[in-house]
Structure 1
Amino acid sequence: MGEYLTVNGLRTYYEVAGEGDPVVLLHGGGTTADSWYGQLPALAERYRVYAPERRGHGRTHDLPGPVSSELLAEDLAALLTELGTGPVHLVGWSAGGTVALRLALRRPELVRKLVLISSGVSRDGGTAADLELVSEANTAMLESMFRPQYEPLSPDGPEHFPVVFAKWLAMWRTEPDIGFEDLPGLTAPVLVMQGDDDGVRIEHSAAIARALPDAQLAVLPGTSHVAPLEKPELVSRLLLDFFGEERATRFMPLGALGG
């Protein structure tokens, strides 16, 4: 079910379903809450699931000025505070992962557990193909990819697409820029997940997991940057397992991440 809530002048659209502890799903850049169709119903069987659309995405309008993951994290913090969710299980996919990590670092009291899907902490964590994807040479291709998703839903009208697209490009070409320095201070449990043919280098995801005090690493076989669409049931199972209160006993830990 879709609902709206206006906080700090931003009328935000979000999908909500289920009952229980809160789970928040953050979509990737240029997409919408609809991209979670493979996970939202499964998670809603056990949790109260929210899938908000960030400013300038989907059914949430744009506001003047540039965008950054830090600004979007502030938007999210305001939304969760207004909703009164308390600490949430927070899942961020791609650019949504950057927003999720920003929030976890700046407002740790709002995040119970964190999942980063196909999301790094620095530009050099991306593969060569990932870096090329957002280059000037591929601008027209990206425009043709995201315009059809934007125009039918945006409350700002289809003519506003060039404005938000320029903002996205500026952000994608400079972020993520969080780095590793602050990761040891993030005490919430974190699941770092990516495809084995993703835009994030596997070693970069492993380095993120090593830098965190309480992290797990999942590399999904036969998937790319859109694993939640390619293997939705597997992603849902991993999320449900991670959110569960009980952890499997590690019978023979041999330090793979550390070594």
Structure 2
Amino acid sequence: MGAYLDVNGLDTWCESRGEGDPVVLLHGGGVTADSWFAQIPALAAHFRVHAPERRGHGRTRDVEGPVTSGLLAADTVALIETLAAGPVHLVGWSAGATVALRTALARPDLVRRLVLIGGGVSRDGATPEDLAVLEDTARLEAMLRPQYEPLSPDGPGHFPVVFAKWLTMWREEPDIGLPALAALPMPVLVMQGDDDGVRICHSAAMAGTAPDGRLAVVPGTSHTAPLEKPDLVNRILLDFLTETGPAPRHLPLGALAQAAREHA
């Protein structure tokens, strides 16, 4: 069920369900926790699942000033501390993957396992199609406005304000870079669709740079793999979140990424 939590003075909407080890799901940019509707029941059968809505998204109000993934990561740290749930399994999708990664880098003590779905670490990891979408503001607005207006406590008239903030962040980020992943102490799963907005060789390089990284490419899917093939995505998530021990290594993922780049 959903309820508001006081997170450093910000009433943050959070859907919570299930019992067991905590899992925190971070939705994509411009959407809401409802985007996890196919994952929450499956994960809640095994875990205590929390799906918050970030500032300016869904039922959580906006806060004056610009927004960055670093700021949203600080909000996520505060949320985990408010829940007294750490360390958690942290799962981020799209812009939520950037927030999840920054959270894990800033506070690795709060993250048990990390899942990054459809998110890169630099703009050169994006496909040309993904970069083009960010310039088609009319299309983006048509996609996101109907999800914002019915739920926002700031009212439908506030959409242009948050939309401008999102565009600025999405066009400037992610700017984390591959080398940062080498500092991650926890197991990391990098997942994407085979027709996603991230280049597969970029995701392979991410998984290969993380000391304990894995790569999952979901066939026949785009940037919305968790919605397009939820049963398969859920099986991959559950397998990763419940496994014990490091992943076996026959061919280093870094070598795979290099081969992919050479044949791109």
TM-score (norm 1): 0.96
Alignment correspondent of 1:124 = 124
Q: Using the alignment, how far apart are the partners of 2:194 and 2:179 within structure 1?
A: 26
Alignment correspondent of 2:169 = 171
Q: Using the alignment, how far apart are the partners of 1:121 and 1:128 within structure 2?
A: 16
Alignment of 1:69-148 (within 5 A): 69-135=69-135, 138-148=136-146
Instruction: Compute the displacement of 1:10 (Å).
Output: 1.1
Question: Gaps spanning 5+ residues in structure 1: where?
Answer: none
Q: C-alpha root-mean-square deviation of aligned residues, in Å?
A: 1.3
CA 1:15–1:249 in 2, change beyond 3 Å: closer, same or farther?
closer
Equivalent pairs, count: 256
Report Cα offsets for 1:144-191 as digits up to 9, x if no partner: 110000000000000100000000000011111111222111110000
Q: Using the alignment, how far apart are the partners of 1:144 and 1:208 within structure 2?
A: 32
Report Cα offsets for 1:77-124 as digits up to 9, x if no partner: 011101100100000000000000000000001100000000000001
Q: Using the alignment, how far apart are the partners of 1:207 and 1:93 within structure 2?
A: 18
**Corresponding residue to 1:258 among 246, 255, 259:** 255
Q: Using the alignment, how far apart are the partners of 1:146 and 1:182 within structure 2?
A: 31
Contact 2:205 2:253 in 1 (8 A): no
Q: Which has the higher helix share?
A: 2
Q: Using the alignment, how far apart are the partners of 1:142 and 1:249 within structure 2?
A: 38
2:19 aligned with 1:19: yes
Alignment correspondent of 2:192 = 194
Q: Using the alignment, how far apart are the partners of 1:256 and 1:149 within structure 2?
A: 38
Q: Using the alignment, how far apart are the partners of 1:124 and 1:211 within structure 2?
A: 16
CA 1:248–1:70 in 2, change beyond 3 Å: closer, same or farther?
closer
Report Cα offsets for 1:167-218 as digits up to 9, x if no partner: 0000011111111222111110000000000000000001111111000000
**Corresponding residue to 2:183 among 175, 185, 189:** 185
Alignment correspondent of 1:245 = 243
Q: Using the alignment, how far apart are the partners of 1:182 and 1:162 within structure 2?
A: 33
Instruction: Compute the displacement of 1:9 (Å).
Output: 2.2
Secondary structure (helix, strand or coil) at the match of 2:207 reads helix
Counterpart amino acid of residue 83 in structure 2: L
TM-score (norm 2): 0.94
Instruction: Compute the displacement of 1:67 (Å).
Output: 0.3
Q: Using the alignment, how far apart are the partners of 1:95 and 1:163 within structure 2?
A: 18
Question: Gaps spanning 5+ residues in structure 2: where?
Answer: 257-264
Q: Using the alignment, how far apart are the partners of 1:226 and 1:112 within structure 2?
A: 25
Counterpart amino acid of residue 119 in structure 2: S
Secondary structure (helix, strand or coil) at the match of 1:146 reads helix
Alignment correspondent of 1:33 = 33
Counterpart amino acid of residue 226 in structure 1: T
Instruction: Compute the displacement of 1:248 (Å).
Output: 9.0
Instruction: Compute the displacement of 1:141 (Å).
Output: 1.2
